[in-house]
Structure 1
Amino acid sequence: MERIYAAIQLLESGGPVMIPLFILSVITIAIAFERGMYYRRHRKNSRSFFEKVAASAKSGDWAGVKQACAGSKTAIAKIVGAGLERDGSEEEMKSAFMETMTLESAGFQRYLDYLSAIVTVAPLLGLLGTVTGMISSFSVLDSGAGATAISGGVGEALVATATGLCVAIIAFAVYTFFTHQLDTIVADTERLCITVVNAKKSGWGRD
C-alpha cells in the first residue's frame, strides 16, 4: 500500500506530463509481454527443428522434412513448407521462400515501430515537463513566494525529465532485444532455406 501511495505521489510531483509518460510505460510493458510470448511460441524447439530438417534434406528424406514442417506451428516451418510445395525448380523454391518469409517477418515486426516511437517521444515529454516546471518556478519567483514554493517547480522539472528518460531507456532496451531476436531468426531461416535448396539441386540435376 505504501508503494502505491509513493507511486501516486511521484505522478503528482512530476506534473501533467506524468500521465502520458505513465501510459507510455504501460504500453511498453504490454508490448514486451506480448512480443515475448509471440517470439517464444515461434522459436519453440527451433534448434531440434533446424537439425531435423537439415539432416533429412541432406539425406534426401523429403517426406521427413515435410513431416517436420507439418508437426510445427512456427513461422520457420511455414516458410520451409511453402518452399517444398513449389519445388519444381530452384527459382520457384527461392521465390516461395522469399514471399513467405516477407509475410511472416511482418508478424515478428509488429508493434516494434511503436517502441521506436516511444523511445523518441518519452524524452520529449520529459523535456516538456522540465520546461513547464521551470516556468512554474519562475512564476512563483515573480510572485515573491519563498524558496519552498520555488523548489516545487524545480522538483517537478527533475521528476518529469528522469521519468521520460527511464521510459525511453526501457523502451529502447525492449526494442533492441526483439530486433536482435528478429535478426537471429531471419539469419537462421535463411541458412536453413539455403541448405534445403542445395539439397534439392541434386534432384533437379537428375530430372
Structure 2
Amino acid sequence: MNFLIGDFAMSDIISPISLPIFISLGLLSIAMIAVTLRKIGQFRKLRTGGRDGAEAALKLWLAGHSQDAMERARAQNSVLGRILTAVMSGVQARPGESEYAEELGRQTALVELAQMGRYMRFLEICVSSAPMLGLLGTVLGMIDAFAELSAVQGAADPASLAQGIWTALTTTAAGLVLALVADFITSWFEARIERERVLAETMISAAIFGRAGSIADAA
C-alpha cells in the first residue's frame, strides 16, 4: 500500500535505507511520551507544589503554634510539607541546635528532589540523540542517492538527484522536531524541579531563622 501526502507517495519520503531511522525515531518518541506521562504521574504522587499549605503551616509555626503547625504540615503530605515536617521535628528534638534542624531539612529535600529528578536523564538523551539519528539517516540517504547517481549511464537526471536529497533530509527534519518537543518537555520538568528546590531552601531557612517575606515571594 502506497499512501499519498500531497503530490508525493509515502515511498518518496521513506526510502528503504531511511526506514530503520524512522522506526528508531518512532520508538524513541513512544518512549518519550511514556516517560513524560510517568513523570506527570510521579509529580502528582509526590504532590509537588503545595505552596499554600506549606505557607499556612509555616505561619502557624512562626506564630508559636508548633503543634498545629506540625499537624498542618503532616496533613499536607506534599514535598514541601514533608520537608517542613522534618525541620520542625529537628527544632523540637534539639531546640538549641539550629544546624541539626537545617541538616534534617536539607537531607529530606535532597531525597525529595532526587525522586523528582528520576527519568530526567532519559529525556535529555532524547534531546541529544534524536537530531543525531536524523542526521545519520540523512547521511545514509545522501550516500544512497549519490551511489544511484554514479551508476547511471550518461547524463544524470537532476530531478532524480533532487528527490533523493529531499528524501534524505526528511529524517533530519523528523529528528529535529522530536528533539524540540523533548527539549520543551525537559525544560518544563526542570523548571518545576528548580522551583521546588528554591521553595524548599526558602522554607527551611524561614522555619529556623524567621523570614522576610512569604514563600510565594521565592517562586
Fold similarity call, TM over 0.5: yes
Once the 2 structures are TM-superposed, how far is the Cα of residue 38 of structure 1 from its aligned partner? 2.4
Please tell me whether the aligned partners of residues 123 and 186 of structure 2 are also in contact (alpha carbons under 8 angstroms). yes
Counterpart residue number, 2:214: none
Please tell me whether the aligned partners of residues 129 and 156 of structure 1 are also in contact (alpha carbons under 8 angstroms). no
Counterpart residue number, 2:31: 27
Please tell me whether the aligned partners of residues 130 and 178 of structure 2 are also in contact (alpha carbons under 8 angstroms). yes
Q: What is the alpha-carbon distance in structure 2 between the residues aligned to residue 49 and residue 136 of structure 1?
A: 61
Counterpart residue number, 2:139: 131
Q: What is the alpha-carbon distance in structure 2 between the residues aligned to residue 25 and residue 92 of structure 1?
A: 46
Please tell me whether the aligned partners of residues 60 and 68 of structure 2 are also in contact (alpha carbons under 8 angstroms). yes
| SS of corresponding position for 1:60 | coil
Percent of paired sites with the same residue? 25
Once the 2 structures are TM-superposed, how far is the Cα of residue 72 of structure 1 from its aligned partner? 2.4
Q: What is the alpha-carbon distance in structure 1 between the residues aligned to residue 183 and residue 138 of structure 2?
A: 21
1:107-164 per-position Cα deviation (integer Å, ceiling 9, x unaligned): 1111111111111111111110010000110111122185565445323311100011
Amino acid corresponding to residue 177 of structure 1 in structure 2: W
Aligned match for 1:103, one of 108, 111, 114: 111
Q: What is the alpha-carbon distance in structure 1 between the residues aligned to residue 20 and residue 149 of structure 2?
A: 21
CA RMSD of superposed structures (Å): 2.4
Please tell me whether the aligned partners of residues 21 and 133 of structure 2 are also in contact (alpha carbons under 8 angstroms). yes
Structure 2 residue 148 is matched with structure 1 residue 140 = yes
| SS of corresponding position for 2:60 | helix
| SS of corresponding position for 1:193 | helix
Amino acid corresponding to residue 67 of structure 2 in structure 1: A
Aligned match for 1:49, one of 48, 53, 58: 53
Please tell me whether the aligned partners of residues 130 and 158 of structure 1 are also in contact (alpha carbons under 8 angstroms). yes
Q: Write out aligned runs for 1:141-156 (5 A).
A: 141-144=149-152, 150-156=161-167
Structure 2: stretches of 5+ with no match in the other structure: 211-219
Counterpart residue number, 1:94: 102
Structure 1: stretches of 5+ with no match in the other structure: 200-207
Q: Choose between structure 1 and 2: higher helix proportion.
A: 1
Please tell me whether the aligned partners of residues 50 and 81 of structure 2 are also in contact (alpha carbons under 8 angstroms). no
Count of equivalent residues: 195
User: Structure 1 residues 140, 167: CA separation in 2 closer, same or farther (over 3 Å shift)?
Assistant: same
Q: What is the alpha-carbon distance in structure 2 between the residues aligned to residue 178 and residue 36 of structure 1?
A: 9
Aligned match for 2:171, one of 147, 155, 160: 160
TM-score w.r.t. structure 1 length?
A: 0.84
Structure 2 residue 182 is matched with structure 1 residue 178 = no
Please tell me whether the aligned partners of residues 133 and 155 of structure 1 are also in contact (alpha carbons under 8 angstroms). no
Counterpart residue number, 2:198: 187
Structure 2 residue 41 is matched with structure 1 residue 37 = yes
